[in-house]
A and B are shown apart, each in its own frame.
Chain A
Amino acid sequence: MNIEQKLAVEDLNARYAEAIDDDRLEAWPDFFSADGRYLVTTAENVAQGLPLGIMSATSRAMLRDRIKALRQANVYEAQRYRHVLGTPRIEAANGTLRARTSFMVARIMHTGETILFATGCYEDRVVLDEGGAHFAEKTVILDSRVIDTLLAIPL
């Protein structure tokens, strides 16, 4: 890993979290490569070797469907997130970068109620090409098995 790679991953992380927190969800799929994979699961499932996800997608098209459904079909109370990300630990191997980043996400309801909604780590595979840095794979591993009420906005 060189310093450019490290900066590219940190920049990708920062822009990713900012897009979600600023409710620019339509931009969210573009942080992934065209066949990028996204999985939200729990540490408990991972520890047991169980494959189930709370949310999953295997292409940018599926990620766009997720956002379309949130905007047009699903019903949930107005809410926002605030991501706080740790420093990623990065390993370079075979042309891709593996990054592990801790996160905490607060959920702010329209009523003002703010809770610590999710903590965990991102286990990512990042590709760097002419188009910039993208997630080829992003696995969101939640520390807790419990989600408060619902998980509408992606993490």
Chain B
Amino acid sequence: MTVHTSPHQWPAEGLTRVPYWIYSDPDLYALEQERIFRGNTWNFLCLEAELPRPNTFRTSNLGDMSVVVTRDSNGAIHAFENRCAHRGALLCLLPRGERKEFACVYHNWTYDLAGNLTGVAFRRGIGGKGGMSPEATPERHAPRKLRVEVLAGLVFGTLGTDPPPLEAYLGPEIVRGIRRVMRAPVRLLGGYSQSLSSNWKLYMENTKDSYHASLLHMFFTTFRLNRLSQKGGLVVNQNGAGHISYSMAADVAGSEYEKAKMRSAQDGYSLEAPELLQSVDEFGDGVGLQILAIFPGFVLQQIRNSLAVRRIVPQGLERSELVWTCFGFAGDDDRLNELRLRQANLIGPAGFISMEDGAATGFVQRGSRGAPRELSVLEMGGQGTSSEESRVSEAAVRGFWKAYREHMRM
């Protein structure tokens, strides 16, 4: 065992080792908020379809900070800190809605949909008494505005002082992967959240871990929805921040699982109602599954015809909220809509192939709690972070840590 005396010193082995203090050090949590979530990263805020008309809003998050995302009367999208210039109270207390301005409930200071302070109650006092001096400039303390970019119906925001343009941050493969799924105007199907008893990073590692998918999620494997012997691949972008794991829908699998007598290759399990797995090749490329994740906290999911965006919201060192929004497209016919709703059984907190993720991250949190100086091992697929054909690889997880260390200057 290597003993690390300074808690913020990364192990000498590099990206193949992750120290467990990374999930349990309270000082790191605050530093991550500043350097990652409020730093030079692009954070997914919401679907453009969640702002369906002028003068609509949606609250979202930049890490554990609340932000308001709006579409103004001209249709332009803005995002700003959900914090009143006066005393710091939340400006907007609702998840979504329609309005032409925001008024803080505490002292009725008002803001336009771009986050500009437009009114201070009793600024000149009443009857010549009270109020603020004419020299006062409360506007200087107005909520910070995010830089916003919309890519194929996905709204991203950043508070960074020097972020690259969104498409440069993502790289061409990731942009292609986004455009592949976001092929038409979105129709919302609904959403829910999962409260996870783990640090936010454990969930993002989970989504970037193509190695676990068919081993933890036995439903997947048993029904040949995704076996690592299926044709597919792993794409990791240059800075490690984005990845795509994909597999073809058709099963050309061998018998590696059966030979190794894996728990996940049980025989004798067939569905009485196999229509659950009925799907259509709506993208016309035979890809049955594409998981695309972007640092720090965004996932775009295509599992057959089940499409969703997920974002992770840190809620303290050992608590995160995973926000799911499922969607189809405005042009979907009844049949496709029905398939999407039925396949929703595969995903989310009760998902046949995803419920385990909610628990697995907590198992790591609990299992590693007493071992801050021990290291986890990430050596599947070598030591690098490059794209490869095999999904028996932790290249995308190493990519996550590459991006993490860069932003944390660690």
Give A contacts to B, CB under 8 Å: 40-42, 44-45, 48, 50-59, 61-62, 64-66, 68-69, 72-77, 145-152
Contacts and interface: CB of A to CB of B under 8 A. Distances in A.
B349 A147 contact: yes
A59 B273 contact: yes
B221 to A, nearest CB: 9
Given A146-B195, A150-B194, A68 B355 contact: no
A149 B222 contact: no
B123 to A, nearest CB: 38
B130 interface: no
B192 A61 contact: no
A28 to B, nearest CB: 14
Contact of B355 (A42, A65, A151): A151
A147 B344 contact: no
B344 A52 contact: yes
Contact of A65 (B193, B272, B350): B272
B359 A149 contact: yes
Contacts of A57: 273, 345
A74 B272 contact: no
A74 B356 contact: yes
B321 A50 contact: no
Interface in B208-222: 216, 218-219, 222
Interface in B162-178: none
Most buried by A among B222, B269, B362: B269
B359 A76 contact: yes
Interface in B58-101: 95
Contacts of A52: 189-192, 326, 341, 344
Interface in B344-394: 344-345, 348-350, 352, 355-356, 358-359, 362
Given A52-B344, A61-B273, A69 B352 contact: yes
B190 A146 contact: no
A51 B188 CA distance: 9
Given A73-B269, A150-B350, 12 more contacts: A44-B191, A45-B191, A52-B190, A53-B344, A56-B345, A66-B345, A74-B218, A74-B219, A75-B216, A147-B193, A147-B195, A149-B349
Most buried by A among B190, B218, B273, B359: B190
Nearest to A46: B190
Given A65-B276, A76-B356, A76-B359, A146 B341 contact: no
